[in-house]
Each structure stands twice: as structure tokens, then as C-alpha cells.
Chains A and B, each alone.
Chain A
């Protein structure tokens, strides 16, 4: 990951991060950002539905969206890209996303310690006041090779 600049900008880095791997498979896109938050977009896709009788997104992609946004809001708050691992993630589902609607995931990093990052956020399908799901998570920074213990 040497090609990732020290000053993390979710808008600039988004296109690179979303090109491949699981975020790439989901077609995630950068949408908005603030000093300690990011909002990502999960476009509607036929093959991501959860229930064959109802054209609404499965819960799995919504968890992925919020997990990914969780990592990115930590890098945004830190202004540095450092790998993180999710330790604990809880998602409460308020209602299904609307038929054929894209879903947005907005997360903020409300507290950082040396090794843990505390994140909360929500998913909506157009109106941030009318949430589809809310989330809370804890992420740990990881040291490749444990060089810095």
C-alpha cells in the first residue's frame, strides 16, 4: 500500500479503494465527507436483494457499506491511512430500503484512542432523517508485522 499518500482524502482515495476487492464488488462510491465523517453510496443492484418476493436490498450489503464507511471515517479523522480491523459491529434495522433505491451509509468517528476507534453511523435511502439502519462499531488499529508493538 505504498501508493497511498500520508494525507488521507476519502474523495481522492475513494476511487482507488473502490476499484477492487469487496468494496469493488459492491460498486461502492464516495458521496460526501466532513472533518470526522464520510458518506458512501451503495447503488441499487438486482443481485443484492435479500428476499426474492420483495425488491429490497439484503441486510448483508448494508452491513458492508457501514463497515467500509466506518474504516474510512477513521482515516478521514486521523488524516492518515492506517489499516484497521473491525472488532465489534452492531446494526439495527429500522425499515427496509425503498424498492430499487440506492442506500447511503454515513459514519462518524466520535472518539479515537491510541489503539481503538469508536464509530457510529446510519444508513438512509435519500432522507438522512428517515434512517434505514443505525450502527455502532469499534475498530482496532493493526500494526503490520507488529513492528511498533
Chain B
């Protein structure tokens, strides 16, 4: 398996906001981590919904790039859509997120992503993403 360092899993946007790949979960999917900072804040003391969505999308792309790499595929990814459910307020603490590939076909992928703080069983938000997979020739 390629190490995270070999794979470009994070965008400039993700790096700039402070995201990093901290670990891999039991399924081998990268866990995106970000510490709380004012840059992520919406109403005082809580994560901004947009920042939460950005973390979820980043973890979704990281999962998809990991799976494409496992399959030896080199592809460009284009977003089709994302639907985010906000379940709990994100608090002033570290947030983690990881994705699961529900389907990966030749042209598109469907990914479910969870973001949590203390306990993965109590997610603060979940997302479903559809992504177009454009194979590089």
C-alpha cells in the first residue's frame, strides 16, 4: 500500500485550513484531523457549518484517492454533489473525519463520510458525496 506521503491526499485548501492525515481507520481509510482554531469558528465556540463540510469533503476525497491508488488507477476527480447532515454542534476541540466508499465504478463514485470529535459513534456531521472519476490516459 502506498504511504500517505506518496499520495496527494490533501488539497492546498485543506493544508491552508490546517487539516492533516493523522491515521488510518480499521478499513485502511485515511483519518483527516484538524485542531480547533478561530479560523474554523461560526457562532462563538462552535465549528462553522462550512468548515465542517470542508473537512467532510476532504476526508471523502482522501478515501477515494486511497481506493483508486489501491486499484492502480490514476484519475482526476470532479465533484458532482455533496449533502451534509449536521447532527451536533462541533465544539472547541479536535475534529476527525473518515470516508467509506459505497460504490466505485468506472465513471463515478459514491462516498459516505463521518466527522466526529470524541467518539466516532457520535458523529457531529455526516455527508454523502458523488464524485466523477475521470481516468487519465
Task: Say if the beta carbon of A147 comes within 8 Å of chain B.
Answer: no
Interface size grouping (class) on chain B: 35 or more
Assess the B58–A89 pair: CB atoms within 8 A.
Answer: no
- Measured in the bound complex, the distance between the Cα atoms of B115 and A78 in whole Å is 31
Selected A-B contacts with CB under 8 Å, 18 pairs: A22-B48, A23-B48, A26-B50, A48-B16, A51-B11, A59-B57, A60-B11, A60-B54, A63-B53, A63-B84, A67-B48, A85-B43, A86-B49, A89-B53, A89-B83, A90-B84, A91-B81, A92-B81
In the bound complex, CA of A149 to CA of B82 (Å): 32
Contacts A63-B50, A63-B54, A92-B81 known; list 6 others, CB within 8 Å. Answer: A46-B12, A47-B15, A68-B50, A91-B81, A91-B82, A93-B80
- B38–A21 CB distance below 8 A: yes
- A65-83 Cβ-contact flags toward B at 8 Å (1 or 0): 1111000000000000001
Residues on A with C-beta less than 8 A from B42 are: 21-22
Task: Give complex CA distance A53, B82 in Å.
Answer: 22
Residue of B nearest to A58 (CB): B13
- A48 → chain B, closest Cβ, in Å? 5
Mostly helix, strand, loop or mixed at chain A's interface?
mixed
B28 contacts A by Cβ under 8 Å = no
Measured between beta carbons, the chain A residues less than 8 angstroms from B50 are: 22, 26, 60-61, 63-68
Interface string of B45-64 (1 = CB under 8 A from A): 01011110110011000000
Interface centre among B50, B57, B78, B86 (most CB of A within 10 A): B50
- For the complex of A and B, 10 pairs with smallest distance between CB atoms: A64-B50, A60-B54, A22-B48, A86-B49, A58-B13, A21-B41, A47-B16, A25-B39, A67-B50, A63-B53
Chain A positions within 8 Å of B41 at CB level: 20-22
Considering residues A1, A61, A66, A89, which has the most beta carbons from chain B within 10 angstroms of its beta carbon?
A: A89
Given contacts A59-B79, A64-B53, A90-B82, contact A25 B13 (CB under 8 A): no
On chain A, the residues within 8 Å of B21 by CB distance are none
Choose among B17, B49, B83, B86 the residue that contacts A90 (Cβ–Cβ < 8 A).
B83
Alpha-carbon separation in the docked complex, A83 to B46 (Å): 11
**Contact partners of B12 in chain A: CB under 8 A:** 46-50, 52, 58
